[in-house]
Amino acid sequence: MFQNDDLDLIAEKLNPDNPNQVWYHDQWVDMTRTEQQIAVKGQAPVTLTLRRSPHGPIINDVLGENAGKTPIAMWWAFLDTQNPILEGFYQLNRADTLAKARAAASQVSAPGLNIVWANAKGDIGWWAAAQLPIRPAGTNAGFILDGSTAQADKLGFYPFSANPQEENPARGYVVSANAQPASPTGMQIPGYYNLADRGQQLNLQLSDNRLKWDVDNSQALQLGTTTAFGPRLLTPLLPVLREVVKDPAQLKLVEQLAAWKGDYPLDSTRATLFNQFLFNLADAALRPKLGDAMFKTLLGTRVIDAALPRLAATPDSPWWDGKRADTVKLAWDNSLAHLKATFGDDPSQWQWGKAHTLTHGHPLGSQKPLDLIVNVGPFPAPGSHEVPNNQSANIGPAPWPVTYGPSTRRLIDFADAAHALTINPVGQSGVPFDRHYGDQAQTYIEGGYEQAHFSDEDVTANTRGTLKLLPAR
């Protein structure tokens, strides 16, 4: 994803004499109201009243208890552009030149996508595909905008040439890891991007001119479990920990963290300790000021990823409240207490594979005991948030179930594209009890691949069954 901010929340000013009107462009304007019914099996239909201001639909009910009573409208580029995305992908799949691929990518308006393209001739390209809105100067799209002023207006869209993009770069490769890219114009593009660490790790490995890239080391690149995020966050806190931790056994754990390279293999105990400390640090420093509801909301956003390293590196941050050492000590003590209660007193038993697991959940699996029948897993899961093998879990107390990860892995040698390697997380069939429902899950989590079959001969030789769709008679 090109995680540009193409959605604005806008607080509307209500007419005190008419609650169905909002102030828009120097006059009171009516909101539209429609009703829709949702049929519910075994119960009466549910009726929803939908309101819409000139800025977009009113979404207070969706935002929940933190929304307040002021009507909040949602402007989204997806709803306000032509967005011929299907035509764009149709053309992209038939593009045989960079110019054609670029033209196809330019048709994607929303949601923003990182489109990477290559051909057998050696051309490579990457385009951050989206229509980027032009907002009034000084508008901070990260905040709820004032609908009664011009700050909520859109002044059009930037040309596609202003979007971040690369074509045949001199270094010979492109990297896209959902981090914030730079525009050719130098302008800042608001968004909710991933941290730069994963892309930096990939770039570090790809830039090694001593390597000749092949299928084997490309697999290792995809399955990497290391980035600099953990050590980067810990470095400014290690002197504090060495000062406040007195127990020799605990100091040994501190030094283990100091020597940690930021890797997440299944047998790592340092990864488990770091992830628990990460949560307890946020909990001790941020929850008292935010309150439970807002702290929970923060943990579900991209903001926390960037905020915690900044907090760690800023001794005089107001979030410490002048008690940095005390807060770090509290976070450390709470981390050890939770890990001992969860995994036992012996730190050698705090392996990442016990704490970090992947379960492929079926919708019916949310109800017990159906979870034992239709869910696939759990599997001990290597990797973590912001490493190449991006098996991500929410920041929180252990254990950490994986919430998202690579939806597929592919390795294609363009000199032999008919023998590409691929794997998906579960299986080819979404039908429980089918033999292909979960038959790739173990291979996927272990970092294995399946041989793709494209030629007529390979398909015929490897066909195990045929699905025929026949018209009704």
Q: What is the pLDDT of residues 62-114, one digit of tens each?
A: 887 777 889 999 999 999 899 999 999 999 999 999 999 999 999 999 999 99
Together in a domain, 333 and 282: yes
**Domain boundary, last residue among 300, 324, 349:** 349
Together in a domain, 324 and 389: no
- In this structure, what token pair is assigned to residue 175? 């990297």
pLDDT, tens only, 25-40 = 999 999 999 999 999 9
In a domain, 243, yes or no: yes
Number of domain units in the chain: 2
Q: What is the pLDDT of residue 465?
A: 84
Stretch 443-471: mean pLDDT, rounded? 92
Together in a domain, 403 and 345: no
pLDDT, tens only, 348-375 = 999 999 999 999 999 999 999 999 999 9
Lowest-confidence segment of 283-297, 389-403, 453-467 by average pLDDT: 453-467
Together in a domain, 241 and 345: yes
- Say which DSSP state 182 is in: P
Q: 209: Cβ–Cβ under 8 A, 6 or more apart, which residues?
A: none
- In this structure, what token pair is assigned to residue 233? 């966050």
- In this structure, what token pair is assigned to residue 198? 């994963």
Rounded-to-integer distance, Cα 25 and Cα 148, Å: 7
Mean pLDDT, all residues of the chain: 95
Together in a domain, 376 and 404: yes
Q: What is the pLDDT of residue 51?
A: 95
Together in a domain, 342 and 365: no
In a domain, 313, yes or no: yes
- Residue 56: strand pairing partners: 53
Rounded-to-integer distance, Cα 462 and Cα 418, Å: 14
pLDDT, tens only, 421-451 = 999 999 988 899 999 999 999 999 999 999 9
Phi and psi at 49, nearest 5°, equal: -100, 120
**Domain boundary, last residue among 296, 318, 349:** 349
Rounded-to-integer distance, Cα 119 and Cα 97, Å: 8
Together in a domain, 378 and 339: no
User: Does the pLDDT value for residue 464 go beyond 90?
Assistant: no
Rounded-to-integer distance, Cα 49 and Cα 42, Å: 22
In a domain, 192, yes or no: no
Stretch 290-301: mean pLDDT, rounded? 93
Together in a domain, 259 and 369: no
Together in a domain, 365 and 435: yes
User: Does the pLDDT value for residue 135 go beyond 90?
Assistant: yes
In a domain, 362, yes or no: yes
pLDDT, tens only, 157-197 = 999 999 999 999 999 999 999 999 999 999 989 999 999 99
Together in a domain, 329 and 401: no
Full-model pTM: 0.89
Q: What is the pLDDT of residue 430?
A: 87
Domain with 401 in it: 357-462
User: Does the pLDDT value for residue 153 go beyond 90?
Assistant: yes
Q: 83: Cβ–Cβ under 8 A, 6 or more apart, which residues?
A: 77, 107, 108, 109, 110, 131
Together in a domain, 340 and 408: no
Q: Is 271 helix (H, G, I), strand (E, B) or coil?
A: helix
Contact in structure between 319 and 311 (CB atoms under 8 Å): yes
The helix or strand, by DSSP H or E, that contains position 234, with its residue range, turns out to be helix 229-234
Q: What is the pLDDT of residue 473?
A: 79
User: Does the pLDDT value for residue 466 go beyond 90?
Assistant: no
Rounded-to-integer distance, Cα 407 and Cα 218, Å: 17
